[in-house]
Structure 1
Amino acid sequence: MKPFRIRLTIIIMLLLAVLGLAAAFTMAHIYRNSHEQTLEDNMLREIRLLETTFAFQPVGNENGAPSNDVFSYYSREALQIGKLTDSRVTFIEKDGTVIGDSESDPRTMNNHASREEIVAAARDGVGSAVRYSNTLKENMLYVAAPVQKPGEFDGYIRLSMSLVAVEDGVRSTWTIMGISLLVLFVIAALVSYSVAASLTRPLEHITRVANRISRLDYGARVRLERKDEIGDLGKAIDNMADSLEMQLKVIRDNEDLLQSVLANMTGGMVMVDDSGKIALINRFAEEMLSINSKRMIGKSYQELKQHYELSKLLGDGLRRKERIHDEQTLYNPEPRLIEIDGVPMFEDDDTYRGMLFLIQDVSNIRRLERMRSEFVANVSHELKTPIAAVKGFAETLLSGGVNDEQTARSFLQIIYDESERLNRLIGDILELSKIESKRSPLNFSPIHLQPFFETIREMLNASAAQKNITLDMQVPEELFMEADEDRLRQIFVNLISNAINYTQDGGQVRLNVHEIVSEQGEERIIFDVTDTGMGIPRKDLPRIFERFYRVDKARSRSSGGTGLGLSIVKHLVELHHGAVTVESEVNIGSTFTVNLPLLQADEAE
């Protein structure tokens, strides 16, 4: 609307400008003509006055030509008269010869018989002309009239006056009129713009409201208090917006509910229409397939090029138009096992609309199933070995071996050791089960680390001395931290005893404790348990914290290990909001690093 308002204002101003300029030109022309006519009348009166009062002298001599005295007399008189009348005075003979002039030497002046004012004076009795004077370099008004004085003068008296004053007056008039026109234009612009605005502003408002409604701003209203057609239009738009807002609120509520369901589904959903274009992708499917729904919606399912087998299955479902079920492995980049169910979509009139594919990540389920099977197998295997040993030696004793006291004692010691191993295994399994199920809450309290590790040294000194292993602990005296003391002791007894068990005789086990500040500004304690043992092969490092995983199974069994110690350590460290890592080189040694917070922000459940 604003361009129209501006155009209307410009048209009004142009009309006023044309009228104003026409009036200005007319007034200037009238002003100039009236001033020139007034000057001409005044100059003619002066000529008539000179005709009756001037003392003419005879012009011709015996040869008929004016003498120098004549030129001098008339020039001198013309000069005096010119000063009195503030004009240029010229005496001209009937044949056009100039005999006197108030501003130039008449003897050097051309014949004036052909001058416009002289010709008109000879014809009409009075002649006038306006032309540029090369002598004075300005526009001049010339007025001439014939004068006859028998025996004295027969010719013309011509008066000329500069039009500078007239032109100055015209310029002044133009200036005044220009300023007046400018003021008029400004006033006219304001008035016309105001008039145009009063017509277009309501329409602009209605247009803005309509545009807002088109941009889904359904709360926009016109609310015009007018009793004309524009007011009726505004009310109609408001009524339409009210109805539209109510209907869209219902649609939006249903859509929000649907989007909430889709976004919070624990499975992925991909809808492909009958033309093969993706119509819907929920958030879980985006994350699972590593795609962007905004980029993929409206494009062909074949755009899922990184998942070739999946796109092939989608195409197969679209062609068959029947339920499908399959499991596939996605590499994104880690392998992920997904379960896919495809359901055809038909309307009431059996119109085929496409396929709805439900995608479920079953990686964890399959992994847990595999872990459960492996756990059962490992537990069975670990239990079978000591039970088999106990059974075998018991059978030997029952079959007569008990009569040999030395053999019986040896067999009973073996039965006792295997039962102890069985007891430790069952105890570790129950302990790990309690930790994983969080049935054993942690009790955090301040711990002074130096005396804490001194008690651990006293517990393990005997086993270290048996193998002549140096046990070195570097713990700052002033260092305190918040933790569950029993669980913290369990962590480091496991780690240090493992280091002693897997270090050759005469080796060294070292504990180094120091404090750091993380990148997030959190104070943390770093515990490094380093040994000079056999080390761990690189291929075994990722699995070292798994249950029942052993690098050297024969060495583990001979040391009495159950294969659950490091798994228990890992779970206890995580319950303390920490992390445990390992670095190792074969035949050089291993370093287990435990990173724990100095203070526990939240208590473990």
Structure 2
Amino acid sequence: MEVILGLSQMSTSAFLLVSGFFGLLGFMVGVIFHNRQSRVSTLIKEAKMRAVQVKELEKNNAELEKATSALSAKEFELTNANRRLRELENAKSKFVSVTAHQLRTPLAGLKWTFNLLQTGQLGPISTEQKEFVDKGLLSVQKMIKIVNDLLNVNLVEEGDPSIFHFESVDLKTLAEEVKAEFFSQAKSKNISLSIQTPTGFLPPVVADRGKIKMVLENLLDNAIKYTPADGQISVVIDDKKLNTAGASLEISVRDSGIGIVEADKPKIFQKFFRSSQAVSVEPDGSGLGLFIVRDIIERHGGSIWFDSEPGQGTSFFFTLPLRRK
């Protein structure tokens, strides 16, 4: 009986054990199935999102290809437009050059004739006639300067280095020559014109003498033109940069003229630019002088700048290295 009872209890225990095992197994299977179902659901969502992203990417690629194609077409148009502009610019430069050359000969003839009349070599003239001759000669000289500016700006824009002929230049001697050239023009307005140089030896610079003379002529011509009667103009040669790296001389042309207003200062070296003050004082002019001057100085390895106050005058400064870089 006890044996039967024992077996019965063992059977009950075994049944409970088995039931617990299968219950646990069922729970674990449920958990695993739930996790797998959740993972599958997540994967499906991710796949849908990626499908949407792929469509967006394909749409963006199509739009990018369209934009790239349009940009290429625009680039082609711009290239052709730039080519046509260059051709027009070259044609304009050639026309200006040819026209200017053609004008030089008759203008030189007119200047020679006016000089003969002015000096009385063609016979005596009255005071009234001399006034007309003086005005005519002045107009011819202005025209010659404009023609020369047009020719020089063409040379500048071509960028041909062969137009520069470098040699050893004594700046003091050159400044004295230019002063003598403008002495009568300054005297007619009772303007004091002076040259200031350091005492002692002044080393020469390696430069194109003709081009540097042109720079001084342009700056002095502007200074006299825009300085009222009884004013002062000085050409100053400074050796303070001789002992610095890249030894150079600093030259300045200083006047007590009308000055330059603040709004015009950034444009003062632009081609064809003339300030409103300059036009009011001197209507004639090409607006090329300072453009040419800056190019000449920069192609010598120097730099140019200015300091100016309206009604107080203007000082243009430029440097010239002792040796070519």
TM category (shorter chain) comes to 0.5 to 0.7
Q: Distance in 1 between matches of 2:128 and 2:261?
A: 40
1:434 pairs, out of 142, 155, 161, with: 155
Contact 2:166 2:206 in 1 (8 A): yes
Task: After TM superposition, give the deviation of residue 412 of structure 1 in Å.
Answer: 7.9
**2:238 paired residue number:** 514
Q: TM-score, normalised by structure 2?
A: 0.59
**2:306 paired residue number:** 582
Q: Distance in 1 between matches of 2:165 and 2:238?
A: 23
Residue 238 of structure 2 aligns to a residue whose secondary structure is strand
Q: Distance in 2 between matches of 1:506 and 1:417?
A: 21
**2:293 paired residue number:** 569
CA pair 416-451 structure 1, distance change in 2 beyond 3 A: closer
Q: Which letter maps to 2:156?
A: I
Q: Which letter maps to 2:254?
A: T
CA pair 518-462 structure 1, distance change in 2 beyond 3 A: closer
Residues 177-234 of structure 1: CA distance to partner in whole angstroms, max 9, x if unpaired? xxxxxxxxxxxxxxxxxxxxxxxxxxxxxxxxxxxxxxxxxxxxxxxxxxxxxxxxxx
**2:322 paired residue number:** 598
Contact 2:270 2:291 in 1 (8 A): yes
Matching of residues 326-405 of structure 1 within 5 Å: 340-341=71-72, 365=82
Q: Distance in 1 between matches of 2:63 and 2:187?
A: 75
Residue 571 of structure 1 aligns to a residue whose secondary structure is helix
Q: Distance in 2 between matches of 1:317 and 1:509?
A: 68
Task: After TM superposition, give the deviation of residue 423 of structure 1 in Å.
Answer: 3.4
Compare the two structures and name the one with the higher strand fraction: 1
Q: Which letter maps to 1:454?
A: E
Task: After TM superposition, give the deviation of residue 422 of structure 1 in Å.
Answer: 3.2
Residues 105-129 of structure 1: CA distance to partner in whole angstroms, max 9, x if unpaired? xxxxxxxxxxxxxxxxxxxxxxxxx
Matching of residues 153-192 of structure 1 within 5 Å: none
Task: After TM superposition, give the deviation of residue 436 of structure 1 in Å.
Answer: 2.6
Q: Which letter maps to 1:460?
A: F
Q: Distance in 1 between matches of 2:136 and 2:322?
A: 45
Q: Distance in 2 between matches of 1:523 and 1:320?
A: 56
Q: Which letter maps to 2:320?
A: L
**2:281 paired residue number:** 555
2:143 pairs, out of 411, 414, 422, with: 422
Task: After TM superposition, give the deviation of residue 483 of structure 1 in Å.
Answer: 1.1
**1:478 paired residue number:** 201
Task: After TM superposition, give the deviation of residue 492 of structure 1 in Å.
Answer: 0.8
Percent of aligned pairs with the same amino acid: 25
Residue 282 of structure 2 aligns to a residue whose secondary structure is helix
Contact 1:509 1:532 in 2 (8 A): yes
| Aligned: 1:319 with 2:40 | no
Residues 287-330 of structure 1: CA distance to partner in whole angstroms, max 9, x if unpaired? xxxxxxxxxxxxxxxxxxxxxxxxxxxx977427436566xxxx
| Aligned: 1:488 with 2:236 | no
Q: Distance in 2 between matches of 1:589 and 1:415?
A: 30
Task: After TM superposition, give the deviation of residue 481 of structure 1 in Å.
Answer: 1.5
**2:19 paired residue number:** none
Q: Which letter maps to 1:424?
A: K
CA pair 341-546 structure 1, distance change in 2 beyond 3 A: same
Contact 1:472 1:509 in 2 (8 A): yes
Task: After TM superposition, give the deviation of residue 554 of structure 1 in Å.
Answer: 3.5
Give the number of the structure whose alpha-carbon radius of gyration is greater. Answer: 1
* Aligned alpha-carbon RMSD (Å): 4.2
Q: Which letter maps to 2:167?
A: S
Q: Which letter maps to 1:595?
A: T
Gap regions ≥5 residues in structure 2: 1-53, 101-125
Q: Which letter maps to 2:206?
A: E
| Aligned: 1:454 with 2:185 | no
Matching of residues 224-243 of structure 1 within 5 Å: none
Q: Distance in 2 between matches of 1:274 and 1:406?
A: 94
Residue 72 of structure 2 aligns to a residue whose secondary structure is strand
Contact 2:241 2:250 in 1 (8 A): no
CA pair 318-516 structure 1, distance change in 2 beyond 3 A: farther
Q: Distance in 2 between matches of 1:456 and 1:414?
A: 23
Q: How many residues align?
A: 233
Q: Which letter maps to 2:219?
A: L
Q: Distance in 1 between matches of 2:231 and 2:158?
A: 38
CA pair 320-574 structure 1, distance change in 2 beyond 3 A: closer
Matching of residues 49-60 of structure 1 within 5 Å: none
Task: After TM superposition, give the deviation of residue 544 of structure 1 in Å.
Answer: 1.1
Residues 428-461 of structure 1: CA distance to partner in whole angstroms, max 9, x if unpaired? 2112212332445222222222222222221122
Residue 573 of structure 1 aligns to a residue whose secondary structure is helix
> Which one scores higher on RCO, CA 8 angstroms, separation ≥ 6?
2
Q: Distance in 1 between matches of 2:289 and 2:312?
A: 22
CA pair 538-519 structure 1, distance change in 2 beyond 3 A: farther
Task: After TM superposition, give the deviation of residue 523 of structure 1 in Å.
Answer: 0.6
Residue 318 of structure 2 aligns to a residue whose secondary structure is strand
**2:28 paired residue number:** none
Q: Distance in 2 between matches of 1:516 and 1:572?
A: 22
CA pair 553-274 structure 1, distance change in 2 beyond 3 A: farther
Q: Which letter maps to 1:545?
A: F
Residues 497-544 of structure 1: CA distance to partner in whole angstroms, max 9, x if unpaired? 211211111111122222344998211111121111100011111111
Q: Distance in 2 between matches of 1:467 and 1:589?
A: 16
CA pair 563-341 structure 1, distance change in 2 beyond 3 A: same
Q: Which letter maps to 2:292?
A: I
Q: Which letter maps to 1:503?
A: T
Q: Distance in 1 between matches of 2:304 and 2:210?
A: 18
Matching of residues 90-239 of structure 1 within 5 Å: none
Compare the two structures and name the one with the higher helix fraction: 2
